[in-house]
Chain A
């Protein structure tokens, strides 16, 4: 009898641990912090991809109601996948899409845009990756939705945009003013 209870307990324990571990698989390994303030407190200078001029971030995000900052590179494969979604977002009037070209070769970056189309109103380059860190970014691709008037970050996506994220972005832009 005692032996039986031990066996049942053991099997039970194994099953429970199995399900705990199974559930853990769904969790992403990327840790992203819940920041207390989503206010933009950075203002870096960056050079444009298509000219030698420089601009600050605050100048870049002044035009419309919303801005999307998209960090991309020609060597990044997921960026290729998400490019069609960015082109889709370009049609929104209230939105301004700014590209940050992350640690890229200028010729390859221009080729990438020529090949796949240009969803960006402005593209700035970040050859050392320092500006992206000022934005709190992890790597490429990464997308940040900014409310221009209040200069706050509304949403941040680590990884490529997909159908679900596209719908969510459109929802936020539609509902916020």
Chain B
């Protein structure tokens, strides 16, 4: 009985150690989910197991250890690989339609509905 309890305690200690050890990598997950794996098609860095993505995760961990915040890490990667690496496109000449189009459609639809209601 005593041995069983001892084993259980050790088991819990190990799992708690793992929990505290893995605390930082959650942050890596969070950041890598927002990054496009450039050599895989349609996958994020988080999802991918390619060499590129694995190195990227190590790099993100290193940057976190250096004390960089999320914004600095995204900016660093953007300077290396361009805007394309982040999933969240900034408003620019090329992406203005992407941002404005839903708004236009929303307003246009609203006008359509209003007209129909007022006709009745």
Contact = CB atoms under 8 A, between A and B. Distances in A.
Interface in A110-156: 128-130, 132-136, 138-139
Contacts of A138: 38-39, 52
A144 to B, nearest CB: 12
B84 A133 contact: no
Contacts, number: 45
A24 interface: no
Q: How large is the interface on A (under 10, 10 to 19, 20 to 34, 35 or more residues)?
A: 10 to 19
Interface string B40-72: 010000000001101110110010000000000
A38 to B, nearest CB: 11
Contacts of B39: 30, 138-139
Interface of B: 38-39, 41, 51-52, 54-56, 58-59, 62, 79-84
Interface of A: 29-31, 33-35, 41, 102-103, 128-130, 132-136, 138-139
7 tightest Cβ-Cβ pairs between the two chains A and B:
A33-B82, A129-B55, A136-B80, A130-B59, A128-B58, A133-B59, A138-B39
